[in-house]
A = this chain, B = another copy of it.
C-alpha cells in the first residue's frame, strides 16, 4: 500500500492513467498496467498504472489535472494506492451468459458500482454487451431505469409535470421549440430537458442554444420553471442519470451500438429523475429512421408505455412519418429560425402540423381538450400568438433576446445551391444523405452550418430548380459538403440513374 506524492502530468487523458516510477512499482510489487484504487484524504478514483523511468521520480505518482480534481487534492499532497479488486457485481453481469435474470438488488449493485467508478472500461463493455447480445426483460429494464435514476440528481416539482420526447434519428425535428411554449401557454408545467445532437445534425439543446442559454442548474430550473411554466434546457450537466452518461460516452459511442434495453432505461431514468407525470412520445417511423418498420415502432411504443405504467408515468406514444427530414431547415441556426417562423404562423406545414398533433395529445392527457380535439386547440394557441408570446417569455428568462426575428438568426456565410439535374418528381429525400451533408458542412458543433431543403419528397421540380442550399462558416467544409451532396444524391428523382458501374471498355 504505497503512499505517494502527487505530481501533475500535463496530459488530457480520458482514461484514468497513473504514471509511477518503475522502481516504486518494483518496490511495492505493483504490476505494470495493473488497475489500482487511488485514495486521497477526501475522495478516491480507479486508475491504470503506467510504469515510467523519467517522467515521474520514485515516490511520486503522475496524475492528470482531471484526476487530481476528482481526488479533490493537489500537487505534492499524498495519496494511497491499493490493489483494485474486481467488483463483486461483475459476477451478476457474467451470469447473463447462461440467461440468468438479474434481480432488483443485483441491478442496483451493478449500477452503484458503475456510478462510483468501480468498473474498468472493459467491465463496462461486459455490462453493456450483456444487454446488446442477451437483452433484458421488462422487469430488468424497470429496475435498471429506477436504479439509474436513483443514483442521479432528482428534480421534484409539487405539481404534475408534462413532457415531450422524441426517440430522434431524423434531421430537422425542431418541434420541441414549438410544443414547449404551446403547452406552457396553456398553463401546464413543461420543464423540458434535452440532449445535444446524438443521431442528427442538431439536438433540441443545440437548436435552443442558438437563441438563449441552455445551461441551468437543477435549483435554477426548480425556481424558474414553475413561474414561466416552460423551459428548454440541456440535460447534460444535470447528472440526471450518471450511468447513462458513462455508458454512452465510454461504450456506446465508440462501438456504435445502442442496446434496446439501455436505450429505454436511458430515456426513462431521466424522466423519473425530472418527475415527469405525462409524456407524449414521438416515434419517427420508416426507412432511414431509427424504426424502419411499423412493427418495430409499435413494439417499441408498447414497451415504452408498459415501462411508463410500471414507473407511474402516463405515456401516449405517437408514430410519426420519419422517412424524410421534418420541415425544410436542418442544422441548429437554420432550425431555430424555422421554429420561430412556425410560431409566427409562417413555417412549413409539416412542422406546424406535427407540433400541433403532439401538443394536442398532451392537451387531451391534461383534460384540456376532449379526444381528437387537442390538435385544434394547439393550432389555436399558435394562431392567436399565445405560443409565440410564451416563447418570448422563455427566451427572456433563459437569457436570450425575446424579440429576435427569424431573419436575425445568423446562419453560415458560405452557401451553395444544389440544383435539380432534370425535370421530375422527387420520389425520395434521404435522411441519411441529408445528415451526412449537414455533418460535412459542420453541424452540430458549428451552429450556423446546415442545409435548407427547398424541395421535399413528392414535390415536382424542373431542371436547375434549387433543391437544397448548403450553409457553412468555412469554405473548405462547404466544398466537402457539396461533394458529398453530389456523390450521395439525397434527392432521388423519378427515373434518375443513381450510379453507373462499368466493366471497362471492350479490348
Contacts and interface: CB of A to CB of B under 8 A. Distances in A.
A12 B50 contact: yes
B11 A33 contact: no
B10 A53 contact: yes
A13 B54 contact: no
Chain A interface mostly = mixed
Contacts of A96: 133
A55 B133 contact: no
A309 interface: no
The 10 A-B pairs at the shortest CB distance, nearest first, are namely: A133-B133, A12-B51, A14-B33, A10-B54, A11-B52, A129-B129, A125-B125, A11-B50, A10-B52, A10-B53
18 contacts: A9-B55, A10-B52, A10-B53, A10-B55, A11-B51, A12-B32, A12-B51, A12-B52, A13-B17, A14-B33, A15-B48, A17-B17, A94-B257, A97-B132, A97-B133, A126-B129, A129-B129, A129-B133
A130 B54 CA distance: 41
A335 to B, nearest CB: 24
A121 interface: yes
A68 to B, nearest CB: 15
A305 interface: no
Interface stretch (A212-220, A248-256, A280-288, A451-459): A248-256
A63 to B, nearest CB: 13
B86 A256 contact: yes
A13 B20 CA distance: 11
Contacts of A129: 125-126, 129-130, 133
Instruction: Determine how many copies of this chain the complex contains.
Output: 2
Given A12-B22, A33-B14, A122 B121 contact: yes
A306 interface: no
A36 to B, nearest CB: 14
Contact of A13 (B50, B97, B133): B50
A19 interface: yes
A51 B15 CA distance: 12
A448 B94 CA distance: 35
A255 B54 CA distance: 31
Nearest to A130: B133
Contacts of A32: 12, 14
Contacts of A257: 94
Nearest to A62: B11
Contacts of A86: 256
Interface string A114-128: 000000111101100
A33 B97 CA distance: 31
A126 B255 contact: yes
A51 B134 CA distance: 37
Given A11-B51, A15-B33, A129-B130, 14 more contacts: A9-B55, A10-B52, A10-B53, A10-B55, A12-B32, A14-B33, A94-B256, A120-B254, A121-B122, A122-B254, A125-B129, A126-B255, A129-B133, A130-B133
A404 to B, nearest CB: 31
A353 B96 CA distance: 41
Contacts of A133: 96-97, 129-130, 133-134
Contacts of A123: 255
Contact of A11 (B12, B19, B122): B19
A93 to B, nearest CB: 9
Contacts of A254: 120, 122
